[in-house]
Amino acid sequence: MIQMIDPELEKYAEAHSGKPNALLQELETYTYENCGQPQMVTGSLQGALLRLLVRLTGARNILEIGLFTGYSALTMAQALPEDGKITSCEIDKKNAAIARSFIERSPHSARIDIRMGPALQTLANLNGPFDLAFLDADKENYCSYYDLVLPLLRPGGLLVADNVLWSGKVLDPKEETDRAIADFNNKVVADPDVEVVLLTLRDGVSLIQKLSTQR
Ligand SMILES: C[S@@+](CC[C@H](N)C(=O)[O-])C[C@H]1O[C@@H](n2cnc3c(N)ncnc32)[C@H](O)[C@@H]1O
């Protein structure tokens, strides 16, 4: 992921936004020291956005596609009400084991349900409605995830999709993954059943509200 905003401004934005708690800070450090592709971790700024969105939408039932080491699940769990729940899909056992070890140290372990396996299969067997979904897994499947997740969202529910600028490669897609993200963005903006805003935060975050009761 390339840095698209001046690093000093990014630091300033982080310093003037909500902060991760000590466990999240430890998890981020652990991920950077022990895992491949640690930049996949959601991090402080986007974590603050996720917590805000969970509270603003009053979400109780959250779906996550892409747990990794658990940063986004743990940060969203902080903003959930007592009876809230997160169902999180992950394919990689090592990532899930790290996530579990941190989740178990938090007060939220009973509220985060990890579903192992390819998310397309997991989603096909899930029942909604979900109030909020966070899409942050394999980019090649973003369009398929969209088709499966939208019917699982309640009308008015929110889909948050990460990496939608894909380091700027959406402007001139060359690789399969570049095209997959560009196709996803084209599909969403052309869908009359949703309202979308693509935020230029970090690697691009789309906020997509389901308007229709038809899907
Ligand atoms: C960008 S990371 C998620 C980052 C995470 N949301 C966080 O805040 O740290 C993407 C994760 O999706 C997982 N993943 C990739 N393909 C998948 C699939 N087909 N089904 C489920 N999980 C998948 C990867 O193993 C990886 O852990």
- The CA distances from residue 61 to 53, 114, 170, in Å, are 13, 14, 31
pTM of the model: 0.97
CB of residue 138 inside a 6 A radius of ligand 1: yes
**Cis peptide upstream of residue 129 (ω within 30 degrees of 0):** yes
Q: In the prediction, which pLDDT does 45 show?
A: 96
Which residues span the domain enclosing 117?
Answer: 7-210
- Examine residue 2 and state whether it is found in any structural domain, yes or no: no
Tokens representing 138 are 């394999």
Ligand 1 atom 1: the closest Cα is on which residue?
40
Distance CA 150, CA 154 (A): 8
**CA atoms lying within 13 Å on the CB side of residue 106:** 25
What tens digit of pLDDT does each residue of 12-58 get?
A: 999 999 999 999 999 999 999 999 999 999 999 999 999 999 999 99
Length of the chain as a residue count: 215
Q: In the prediction, which pLDDT does 2 show?
A: 67
- Examine residue 215 and state whether it is found in any structural domain, yes or no: no
CB of residue 119 inside a 6 A radius of ligand 1: yes
Ligand 1 atom 25: the closest Cα is on which residue?
92
What tens digit of pLDDT does each residue of 45-104 get?
A: 999 999 999 999 999 999 999 999 999 999 999 999 999 999 999 999 999 999 999 999
Closest-lying ligand 1 atom to the alpha carbon of residue 68: 27
CB of residue 160 inside a 6 A radius of ligand 1: no
Tokens representing 184 are 């996803």
Cα 98 to ligand 1 centroid, rounded to whole Å: 13
- Examine residue 38 and state whether it is found in any structural domain, yes or no: yes
Number of domains in the chain: 1
Question: Which CATH number covers residue 131?
Answer: 3.40.50.150
Q: In the prediction, which pLDDT does 91 show?
A: 98
Closest-lying ligand 1 atom to the alpha carbon of residue 89: 21
Contacts of 198 (CB under 8 A, 6+ apart): 164, 165, 185, 204, 205, 206
Which parts of 8-84 are beta strand (E)?
61-65
CA dihedral defined by 15, 17, 21, 26, rounded to 10 degrees?
A: -50
CB of residue 89 inside a 6 A radius of ligand 1: yes
Q: How open is the CA angle 46-49-53, to the nearest 5 degrees?
A: 140
- Examine residue 11 and state whether it is found in any structural domain, yes or no: yes
Cα 202 to ligand 1 centroid, rounded to whole Å: 17
pLDDT class of 215 with cuts at 50, 70, 90: confident
Amino acid at 42: T
Cα 90 to ligand 1 centroid, rounded to whole Å: 6
Number of H helices, E strands in the chain: 8, 7
